[in-house]
Structure 1
Amino acid sequence: MAMAELPITLAGKTKLEAELNQLVKVEREELKVSISEARELGDLKENAEYHSAKEKQAIVEGRIAQLQGILARSRVVEVSKIKSTKIVFGATVTVLDVAKDASITYRIVGEDESDSRENKISFTSPLGKALIGKEEGDTVIVKAPKGDVEFEIESFEFID
């Protein structure tokens, strides 16, 4: 069964590719050196450097495989070319948190690029799902752990 394609922004793809590149070209190579140096220290059973390097190698290889999988099934969406009167993947949306009377701007992105510190939310998140398909002026209610949160959509745009 083919894996479903996952939408990703160009910036998100570039960031993942840069991480993959760093892991493959730098960290993987540095670990090979560490492991061979540790081997030369003799008895591997009690060789902490060797075990530590092998453990780190397993983590790095796992992340490389994970990133390659994500990139293989990602489909870049050129956000600036989207012409839509409704909110879709990639939109930058400004909403009013009705209870707090505060405006917040979110960008709706792929699962692997969401980052709450940067207000990037996944299209599969509760808020992301609630916003998709809506228009300016619409109100959405998101179920949150502390109760429902009401947002009013103030504006949205498609920028890369």
Structure 2
Amino acid sequence: MKMDKEIVLTYNRLKELEAELEYLKTEKRKEVSEKIKVARGFGDLSENAEYDEAKKEQGEVEVKIVSLEKMLKNAKVIDEDEIDTSKVAVGTKVKIYDMDFEEEVSYEIVGSTEASPDQNKISDESPLGRALIGAKPEEVVTVESPNGEYQVKILEISK
């Protein structure tokens, strides 16, 4: 039996996903069901675009519900109090010095479902995230990215 991959989440992200799941199961399901009912009233289902569209949306909603349920079942929530700032880990914020661009950049290391590069939240599975995990302050790590290797120095780790 294949084990499902553990999903690492912050408490806030867990609450967001639970709220989305609740919305999909209650309000969205009813909304789509109502669309199907209305579309059925238009008659011939073989040439009923509204019906086809509503059924398609229903399928998408159900797939999203199953996906969220699976994700939440495999969720591991990061306990803020247990975050160790002696090394880079999921849940830490890290300030690095990019040696190629000669600039300081700060990132928050998050699980893959929370990654948002435009908000400087990088996944532990990204090339930079993978290279940083386990590194300590003052350490220089090599990042293997699709564009080649580069080095960064860890300046500071915080919560």
Same fold (TM > 0.5): yes
Which ranges of structure 1 fall in alignment gaps of 5 or more residues? Answer: none
Q: Identity of counterpart residues, as a percentage?
A: 37
Stretch deviating more after TM superposition (32-41 or 12-21): 12-21
Q: For the Cα contact (< 8 Å) 2:128–2:145, is it kept in 1? A: no
Provide the residue aligned with 1:14 in structure 2.
15
Shift of 1:75: 1.3
Which ranges of structure 2 fall in alignment gaps of 5 or more residues? Answer: none
The number of residues matched between the two structures is 158
Q: For the Cα contact (< 8 Å) 1:96–1:151, is it kept in 2? A: yes
Shift of 1:4: 4.4
Provide the residue aligned with 1:136 in structure 2.
137
**1:130-157 residue CA offsets vs partner (Å, 9 max, x unmatched):** 1111111111111222221211111111
Q: Distance in 2 between matches of 1:14 and 1:151?
A: 33
Stretch deviating more after TM superposition (48-57 or 81-90): 81-90
Report the 3-state secondary structure (helix = DSSP H, G, I; strand = E; otherwise coil) of the residue aligned with 1:31: helix
**1:41-87 residue CA offsets vs partner (Å, 9 max, x unmatched):** 11000001000011111111111110110001101111243234111
Shift of 1:93: 0.8
Compute the RMSD of aligned alpha carbons: 1.5
TM-score normalised by structure 1 residue count: 0.91
Provide the residue aligned with 2:73 in structure 1.
72
Q: For the Cα contact (< 8 Å) 2:85–2:158, is it kept in 1? A: no
**1:87-143 residue CA offsets vs partner (Å, 9 max, x unmatched):** 122111111111112221111111211122222111122211111111111111112
Asked if 1:149 corresponds to 2:130, the answer is no
Shift of 1:6: 2.6
Provide the residue aligned with 1:33 in structure 2.
34
Q: How does 1:28-107 map to 2 (within 5 A)?
A: 28-107=29-108
